[in-house]
Amino acid sequence: MSSVLIALALIFTQLSLLAFGGGNTILPEMQRQVVEIHHWMTAQQFGAMFALAQAAPGPNMMIVPLVGWHVASWPGVLVTTLAKFGPSSLLAGIAMGLWERFKDRPWRRIVQAGLVPMTVGLVTASAAVITQASAHEWILAAIVAACASAALTTRLHPLLLLAFGALVGLSGIGQI
């Protein structure tokens, strides 16, 4: 059990410090670690956890305690939460002190602009990985496409789109 907790701590500490551009950039690495390397769950289960986290309120990284809970119950929740939110928060605290000194320097803007294409690549990769895990029937692929285009072209609330997907799913159409 404790070796599992140590593995969780190491994985989520690394993810914490690499999450430039927000939480959605690290989903592929998280999935690679918990599904492909450690086999703690299937890709479908990971996709379902991502969906649960999206349906819950709060910051969009609520998949983190969920993974911890699935792998190692409450100790897992504690370890993943501390490891994911601790290191980046410490860094934020330290950076607050240095911020005043650097905020008008031109290199700050250049580095920030340089990270944008990385963020785009990583979020696109997240979308691909999560879609691949979720759209294993034609009807589910249709829900992905419908929700993506509705979110792009309308101002419908995300929760409404999640409810739509859940209802179409519940109807059982196109699913075994």
Q: Enumerate residues 36-95 that contact another protein by CB under 8 A.
A: 36, 44, 47-63, 65-66, 69-70, 77, 81, 85, 88-89, 91-93, 95
Binding-residue pattern over the window 118 to 147 for another protein, x denoting contact by CB under 8 A: xxxxxxxxxxxxxx-xxx-x--xx-xxxxx
Q: Which is nearer to another protein, 7 or 53 (CB)?
A: 53
Query: Please, what is the minimum distance in Å from the beta carbon of residue 98 to another protein?
Result: 9
Binding residues for another protein, rule CB under 8 A, total: 106
How far apart, in whole angstroms, are the C-alpha atoms of residue 27 and residue 19? 9
Question: CB burial class (10 A; 0-12, 13-18, 19+) of residue 174?
Answer: middle
Binding-residue pattern over the window 154 to 173 for another protein, x denoting contact by CB under 8 A: ---xxx-xx-xxxxxxxxx-
Tokens of 8: 């969780």
Query: Please, what is the minimum distance in Å from the beta carbon of residue 36 to another protein?
Result: 7
Which residues are CB-contacts of 174 (< 8 A; sequence separation ≥ 6)? Answer: 137, 138, 139, 140, 142
Binding-residue pattern over the window 6 to 35 for another protein, x denoting contact by CB under 8 A: --------xxxxxxx-xxx-x-xx--x---
DSSP states of 49-100 as a string?
HHHHHHHSSS-TTTHHHHHHHHHHHHHHHHHHHHHHHHHHHHHHHHHHHHHH
Nearest partner of 84 among 30, 126, 121, judged by Cα: 30
Q: Which is nearer to another protein, 6 or 158 (CB)?
A: 158
Q: Which is nearer to another protein, 1 or 103 (CB)?
A: 103
